[in-house]
Amino acid sequence: MPGNERRNSPRKNCIVPLRFRVLTDPDHPWEELTASHEISGLKGSIYSATLRGEAVNLSERGVYFTSKEKLSVGELLEMYFTLPRELTGRGPEQVRCSARVVHVEDRADLGALGIGAIVERFEPIVTSHNWAN
């Protein structure tokens, strides 16, 4: 790997809108989150409100995105976005991932924060989910 690059999987530049929620109970098991989401929508107090951002680059293990929302290192996120054809090699694919914030930087040039998150779990969305603000 060149220089001080520590990533094992290459980043792909993209501009992809995304929605995310901060998981307010980081010890809550992913399987239970999936089950409660599938059955009755996002209920209870384990989630924050739906927030918006824009992915700037993606890899198998991480995402760098911008958002006007203030996030902190260590926060667990549940993210939803559509991978474009250029990244999948097939058609667009809706995905859901669990990611943990690893760095936050002020991006005054964009009027937003730049947020780096490591993906802990990644899965395709099989059914349509309706989780509006």
Q: What is the pLDDT of residue 111?
A: 86
Q: What is the pLDDT of residue 38?
A: 40
pTM, two decimals, is 0.73
Whether the CB-CB separation of 125 and 131 falls below 8 Å is answered with no
- Is the per-residue pLDDT at 80 higher than 50? yes
Across 52-78, average pLDDT: 93
Query: Under DSSP, is residue 51 helix (H, G, I), strand (E, B) or coil?
Result: strand
Structure token digits, residue 36:
């409660």
For residue range 2-53, list pLDDT tens digits in order: 445 455 667 889 899 999 999 876 555 444 444 444 433 444 444 568 899 9
Round the CA-based radius of gyration of the chain to a whole number and report it: 15
Q: Give residues with Cβ within 8 angstroms of 98, minimum separation 6.
A: 23, 30, 76, 77, 78, 79, 119, 120, 121, 122
